[in-house]
Structure 1
Amino acid sequence: MGNQVARVGNASHRKVESAPAASTGNGNHGVNVTASSIAAVISKSEPDHHNSHTQFFPIENLAKILSHLAHQEAHVNGITKSIFEKYLFPTHPELSERLFTYLHHNAHATTAYISTTAFKQQSEKFLSVMNDQAILENYVKIYSDLKNGGNVTPETLRALLTSCYQLAMESNNTSACLHSQQIINAVVISCFHGKTSLSTSYVSNWIGQHCPRLVYGLQRYVVHVLTTAYRNGKALLSKEQPQPSVDILTPVLEKSDQEFPQVDLLPISYVWLLSCTLPQCYLQTNDSPKDITHALIARRTGSICPKHWTLLYNSGEHGTGANRFLHHVLGYRGPTLLIIRAANLERNEECPTYCVCSAVEWRESHLYWGDEDSMGIQLIPSYKIMEKGPKVLYLNTNIRGYPHGLRFGSDPRSPLISIDESFHSVTIAGAPYRIASLEVWGCGDTKLREKQLEIKKWQVKEAEKQRVVKLSASDWLDHPDRYLLELAGRASYNESNN
């Protein structure tokens, strides 16, 4: 701070001495104008890292507290890894270690600790990144092997995924999911394709294509800690202090009326990864800010959370067949997810699981339909987006002359997923499977579900009315049911009357 003030004073003194005579012509006014112009010139010519701390008062206060604690406990003039972990990320030691190593590496520190000035500079630089792809690449670098060239290995990518998932489950107060390692391994397998090392740019581009919102929750948590921890004083966020609560983009699944085995429902770990992949229309919000400024802030900080996903159809509960599927799915005017689990003959093998995402209402037609947010996702055994775009969905059960069943894929001659008209078997990329279970989840708000249920109630009432038909005697004489009864041996009503 002192050196900077001295530099500014000397520069202004030199500038005033070399100023033209016009600046001294009108005493006070000339001096004021010259001083303001000098300040503008100095502010432009000074490097960003000298003035950046004036824009990040939380980092300035945080660095002072951490430096004081390190001097007290470790007797060093800087910030150590143990202090960084103990007072900022006590519940996430791996995240703390990797983030400190990243800051330490970028500061080119030659000691085990990082100086206070370098910590402020690197923290401010880290927080100043606003581009989503750049943020994603930063976290891939944080979890890469910085000591060996900065490449990403399957283990480091698995560590990144685990940190993101654990933070999401912690913030949503959700118990551990038995399928979490399965879905994390699926992402690793799909990204590496058997390779042992990849560059950070390739991994970040792959994640940006297949699950672009993966690190949103992690970024919000780190930013929240670095910018608000100083408010607790010297204790910061040590274990004695309450940890910050950050909402993560993970929908809270709405439970069905009946209790089902966990294997038959969509695991919460799958929901977490899908919410990192799906377009925004599938992640509805509870309370959207009406003010534009607050809406932009909420979008950047990630405080908008999706609403509940409602279970519309489950083959284990509602029965298997095309008519059961249509009964529970048609009429829901919102985005839906169709989860297809294919039965595997080998017990030890994982059941192939796929997700067909429809951003519009399901319909029966001999034409392909869907908008640009419709997509197909392979969940297990590897995680990836199969195809995305308009006119990739097809559903037909009664129109003659056209294929019957449900299909996904833009090529009608070779669909990626094809369910037969009985809804008992499925063909995936040309390989036939028996369907183990089908689930359809509604991703709209509660009003859409209420409207669908109202339509179904009206249909039931209309069916009851049509079931009771009053026929006159003259109508019965020409009715086809009377002819069928006579063919079956039933006595003629005319003969009994005669």
Structure 2
Amino acid sequence: MGASSSTEQNVSGEQSQVETVAASTGALPMLQKAFPKLANPETNAVSLENLQKCFSVAYKEQSYVGNMPDLLPVLLDHLGSSIVDQFFVPAKGGVSWIQFVKGYNKCSARMSVSMSLNMLVRVFLATAGRANLPLNLEFESNDADCKINGSFLPIHVLLLLLMCWVMSWDCRNLKYSQGKANPTLPDLNHLALSAITSCAKLENNLNVWDSNISNLEVELPAGKFVTWVTSTVPCHPDILRQYFHSKLQTLVTAGDALVSPDSFTGDIPSITVCDHNILTHGRAWAISLTQKSAVNEEISRVCFPSSGDDMDDNLVYRSSIHGRGLNRFWSRVEGYKGPLLILVAANSGDAQEGSSIDRNWVVGALTDQGFENKDMFYGSSGCLYALSPAFHVFPSTGNYVYSRLHPTGRVYEPNPKPVGIAFGGTLGNERIFIDEDFVRVTVRHHAVDKTYQNGSLLPAQGFLPTEALISEVEVWGLGGKEAMKVQNSYKKREELFTEQRRKVDLKTFANWEDSPEKMMMDMMSDPNAVRREDR
């Protein structure tokens, strides 16, 4: 086994060095258990065939649900082989223990986002080569941080995103469902359009509501694509490392048998997309790629629900179910002290040649805390999202949330504050403002906002405010079970206080002389009489 020491001093020193690197990541015990399950006992080495089987996507083509580009199954068929070629250097008898640990360190050691993305693109380029898909990409050297030259086509970006989504789904499914569910390919056009609008030189304004990505011939320079990934979806390059680690971890916990694509059949029930949600699997995955905090794990439960999970467990409020309006909204979110994701689906008209064309779009906001009834902006961190038709993220730099109910009682306000929910900007000039009836949403230009990053929330957004009709509002709780537990305790306490305030002590009014009815009659008959309360 790999743990055995070598008689040669130089090999022993090399083994100690690579094991030290693996131990620094906490993966050495896992590697020591995985290696003998892959290795031939006689040669104490792992064959390339076993490694390729280990790192292959363990599902048949016909098991996928949803629209799949024709090239994607071919890419997935060659993924395992490309990963092995990229990270392992076999000797004559196979991959030794030292080369096995070296391969893991090369993929999973701590490194920058750009280096991780470099490795991911290398694997994609190798996979595309095996699938006879020509790419205009090349690396200046074999260094991990070398420059990438060339360009992507829109279809290449979409294929890369879908391949990475399958890798993420594969990790999650093997961990929580033991490989007993089929993947449902999401719609990732919003992510591909984000890369296109950010990287490509578009001569004419691209109609993002009606664009066939497969037919777009614009080029996305590799350098700009790297910049887009690091600024918009910084967690995306980590997918290869997570996939690599998950495959070996599953091998350790699953038993002696290797996970093989042939071991799965197409008659296993699949997890279907919840079309009635604004937060589709594809949009949830895109948001997860922007977050490296604990929110990432919570929203991943929405992206990749296991067979025992219900994604609606995280749903706090939906206007079509719980009713429209700020009061209905508040009754659902009050007391929730964890991160919340609020999504607004709306449509606005676009006059073109005398006709009115509806434009449907989705924007959202992620808060790091619950909502509070205040007459000023609050909060310390969060993000705005343009989710559809193209994806963009805008981090915050200061107080960014405003949520206010109508004042209780008769309170005179010389300068009444707006009633509704807002994100960014100032009172009266909010970046996003949702009215109290949840009928209209107003989106303003980023020039009015000093708390969120600059950028357009809507395609071709001008300087004038855009007002649109709201079709649906959703709020998703991302604080985990603890936040739900705290909110449930808060609601029970409020219900108890309400019940106590409603109770009437009937013994107090048992005597007619002490009843409120007699007091009212006495006041009407002789209003100048001295009352007991005046003594």
TM-score by length of 2: 0.58
Match of 1:129 in 2: 109
Q: Which runs of structure 2 are paired with 1:79-478 in the superposition (5 Å)? A: 79=48, 85-86=52-53, 88-89=55-56, 91=58, 94-95=75-76, 97-98=78-79, 100-101=81-82, 104=85, 123-124=103-104, 126-131=106-111, 133=113, 134-144=115-125, 148-150=136-138, 151-170=151-170, 171=173, 180-181=186-187, 184-193=188-197, 195=200, 196-198=218-220, 200=222, 202-214=224-236, 216=238, 218-226=240-248, 236-239=258-261, 262-264=275-277, 266-278=279-291, 280-282=293-295, 309-345=313-349, 351-372=360-381, 374-398=382-406, 400=413, 401=415, 402-412=417-427, 414-429=429-444, 430-444=465-479, 445=481, 446-458=484-496, 460-462=498-500, 464-465=502-503, 471-475=516-520
Deviation at 1:418, TM superposition (A): 1.0
Q: Distance in 2 between matches of 1:203 and 1:67?
A: 47
Identify unmatched segments of 5+ residues in structure 1. 10-38, 72-77, 244-251, 254-260, 286-304, 480-498
Identity %: 18
CA RMSD of aligned residues (A): 5.0
Q: Distance in 1 between matches of 2:257 and 2:55?
A: 10
Identify unmatched segments of 5+ residues in structure 2. 1-5, 60-72, 130-134, 139-150, 201-217, 266-270, 299-308, 351-355, 408-412, 445-464, 510-514, 525-535
Deviation at 1:284, TM superposition (A): 6.9
Q: Distance in 2 between matches of 1:422 and 1:436?
A: 12
Deviation at 1:342, TM superposition (A): 0.8
Q: Distance in 2 between matches of 1:326 and 1:228?
A: 43
Q: Deviations over 1:194-243 (max 9, x none)?
A: 62444555434433433333354553332243577599999743346689
Q: Deviations over 1:366-393 (max 9, x none)?
A: 2110122x22111111112123233101
Between stretches 392-401 and 262-271, larger displacement belongs to: 262-271
Q: Distance in 2 between matches of 1:344 and 1:98?
A: 43
| Structure ranking higher in strand proportion | 2
Q: Secondary structure at the match of 2:430?
A: coil
Q: Secondary structure at the match of 2:228?
A: helix
- Change in Cα spacing, 1:103 to 1:381, as seen in structure 2 (3 Å) is same
Q: Distance in 1 between matches of 2:239 and 2:315?
A: 25
Deviation at 1:471, TM superposition (A): 2.8
Q: Distance in 1 between matches of 2:373 and 2:425?
A: 17
Deviation at 1:328, TM superposition (A): 2.0
Amino acid at match of 2:516: L
2:88, 2:100 within 8 Å by CA — same for their partners in 1? Answer: no
Q: Distance in 1 between matches of 2:247 and 2:41?
A: 13
TM-score by length of 1: 0.62
Match of 1:75 in 2: none
Q: Secondary structure at the match of 2:403?
A: strand
- Change in Cα spacing, 1:390 to 1:141, as seen in structure 2 (3 Å) is farther
The count of aligned residue pairs is 394
Amino acid at match of 2:56: F
1:143, 1:156 within 8 Å by CA — same for their partners in 2? Answer: no
- Change in Cα spacing, 1:419 to 1:8, as seen in structure 2 (3 Å) is closer
Q: Secondary structure at the match of 1:474?
A: helix
Q: Deviations over 1:95-115 (max 9, x none)?
A: 462464466478999xxx998
